Chains A and B, each alone.
Chain A
Amino acid sequence: MTDVAAGMRGFVSNFGPTAALAMESCVHCGRCAEACQFYVQTEDPRYTPIHKIAPFKQAYEREVGPFAFVYRLFGLAPKVTEAEPTKWQDLIYDSCNMCGRCSLICPMGIDIADLVEQARHGMCEAGLVPTDFLGVLEEKEHATGSPFGLTTAALEKMLHDIGTRHGVVMHVDEPTADIIPTVSSIDLKTYPSSMAAIAKILNHMGASWTFRTDGFDADNVSLTAGDRIGQRSVTLGVIRAAKACGAKVLLMPECGHSFTEMRWEAANQSGAALPFRVLQITELLAEGISDGRIRVNKAPQTATYHDACQLSRRGGATAAPRIILQALGVDLHELEDAGDANWCCGGGGGVALIKRAQPLRDMAFQIKQRQVEATGVATVYTSCSGCRQTLDHGGKAVGWNKTVASLLELVADNLKD
Chain B
Amino acid sequence: MTLLEFARGPGLQVALLIMIAGCVWRLTAILLLRRRPHLGASRHSRAGRVAGGIAMVFTRSLPRRTFWPRIASSVILSTVFHVGFAIIILCGAPHILLIHQITGISWPGLPKGIIVLVSGVTLASMIALLFRRMLHPVMRLLSTIDDYLSWLTVFLPILTGILLSGETIAGYETLLALHILSVELMMVWLPFGKLMHAGLVFASRAAMGVNFARKGAAT
Contacts and interface: CB of A to CB of B under 8 A. Distances in A.
Interface string B184-219: 000000001010110011011111110100111110
Nearest to A23: B30
Tier of interface size on chain B: 35 or more
Interface string A93-109: 00000001001111111
B39 A28 contact: no
6 shortest A-B CB distances, which residue pairs? A316-B216, A340-B218, A66-B29, A109-B205, A109-B208, A267-B39
A274 B141 CA distance: 44
Contact of A316 (B34, B39, B43, B144): B43
B218 A313 contact: yes
A65 B218 contact: no
Interface stretch (B56-64, B92-100, B171-179): B56-64
B138 A107 contact: no
A231 interface: no
A18 interface: yes
Given A27-B147, A312-B218, 6 more contacts: A22-B204, A28-B194, A100-B217, A109-B206, A264-B41, A316-B215
B64 A272 contact: no
Interface string B14-42: 00000000000110111111111011110
Given A109-B208, A315-B215, A31 B30 contact: no
Nearest to A317: B216
Contact of A50 (B70, B142, B214): B142
A48 B209 CA distance: 23
Interface string A33-70: 11100011001011010110000000000001111000
Contact of A24 (B26, B67, B140, B211): B26
B217 A316 contact: yes
Interface residues of A, number: 65
Contact of B39 (A48, A271, A278): A271
B74 A30 contact: yes
A314 interface: yes
Nearest to A106: B60
A104 B64 contact: yes
Contacts of B66: 336-337, 341
B142 A109 contact: no
Interface in B117-147: 133, 136-144, 147
A67 B192 contact: yes
Interface in B67-81: 67, 70-71, 74-75, 78
Given A109-B208, A271-B39, A28 B26 contact: no
Contacts of A14: 36
Interface in A235-281: 263-268, 270-274, 277-278
B63 A107 contact: yes
Contacts of B144: 28
A264 B40 CA distance: 5
30 contacts: A15-B33, A20-B29, A24-B26, A25-B197, A28-B139, A30-B74, A30-B136, A31-B63, A31-B74, A31-B75, A34-B70, A34-B71, A40-B70, A48-B138, A65-B29, A67-B26, A104-B218, A105-B67, A107-B201, A108-B60, A111-B208, A264-B215, A267-B40, A267-B41, A273-B40, A315-B215, A316-B217, A317-B216, A341-B64, A341-B67
Contacts of A272: 39
Counting chain A CB atoms within 10 Å of each CB, the highest count among B30, B60, B71, B205 belongs to B30
A111 B147 CA distance: 21
A317 B67 CA distance: 22
Contacts of A15: 33
Given A45-B140, A263-B40, A341-B218, A20 B147 contact: no
B156 to A, nearest CB: 19
B204 A109 contact: yes
Contacts of A312: 218
Contacts of A50: 142
A119 B39 CA distance: 23
Contacts of B140: 45
A29 interface: yes
Contact of A268 (B40, B204, B205): B40
A30 B142 contact: yes
A206 interface: no
A107 B61 contact: yes
A173 to B, nearest CB: 26
A21 interface: yes
A118 interface: no
Contact of B138 (A45, A110, A267): A45
Contacts of A167: none
B201 A108 contact: yes
A27 B142 CA distance: 9
A50 B138 CA distance: 10
A315 B216 contact: yes
B71 A16 contact: no
B33 A20 contact: yes
Given A51-B141, A51-B142, A264 B56 contact: no
A30 B36 contact: no
Contacts of B205: 108-109
Contacts of B74: 29-31
Nearest to A277: B41
